[in-house]
Structure 1
Amino acid sequence: MTYHSKLKCEFVDELFEAILLLENTEECYRFFEDICTIKEIQAMAQRLKVAKLLRQNKTYHEIEEKTGASTATISRINRFLQYGADGYNLILDRLEEKHQKGEGK
């Protein structure tokens, strides 16, 4: 099944193709540091952490304390976890699987 997003266009396709060519964490750091601001990278990392904590059934207060995310951000991510394109769940499932195999942190 192919997912068709509202943001789908040639430029975004090329961006995602480029990201898929990155081979390791070091390459990700190098590419994302060039293409994004530090704040943008930190915001994406924070959102992923919030999603992970929500799936662990942490409270909004616990998540806010741990990540510094606002309750509005936490609520928005929770909505995406429940009703979004399933992107958070897809990647969090894969990260969990990788970590269970002892391949990650």
Structure 2
Amino acid sequence: MTKKAGKEQSDLLYESILTLKDLEECKEFFQDLCTVAELRAMEQRFEVALLLSDGMIYNDILERTGASSATISRVNRALHYGANGYQQVLPRAKELRRQYEEEDA
């Protein structure tokens, strides 16, 4: 596969994800695309990112999530030196989390 073909394939994947219409479609797509272990790993990394951005310390995150210190460190590096994907999504995720908490109250 050429570099251009690889870029087109990855762009096609990301553009296709953007066509998902709702939460159920998103869940179904990712369940088909990923293994259970891959989904759990992504969910865990995202939870770690939320907790780090909330100011929680490594040991508390490790205890709460079961994530390894290597995973926590990797997520922390991405938060500070990554492509800014977490910075774009985390404020939105925190707003969703707040809405969920209000619904549960």
Q: Percent identity?
A: 49
CA deviations 1:3-49 (Å, max 9, x no partner) are xxxxx711110100111111111111111111110110111111110
More helix by share: 2
CA RMSD of aligned residues (A): 1.6
Larger radius of gyration: 2
Aligned equivalent of 2:92, options 82, 94, 98? 94
TM-score by length of 1: 0.83
TM-score by length of 2: 0.83
Name the residue aligned to 1:62. Answer: 60
- Structure 2 gap ranges (5+): 1-5
Runs of 4+ off more than 2 Å: 96-100
Measure, in 1, the Cα distance between the counterparts of 2:60 and 2:89. 22
Q: Which amino acid aligns with 1:14?
A: L
Name the residue aligned to 1:49. Answer: 47
Number of residue-to-residue matches in the alignment: 96
- Structure 1 gap ranges (5+): 1-7
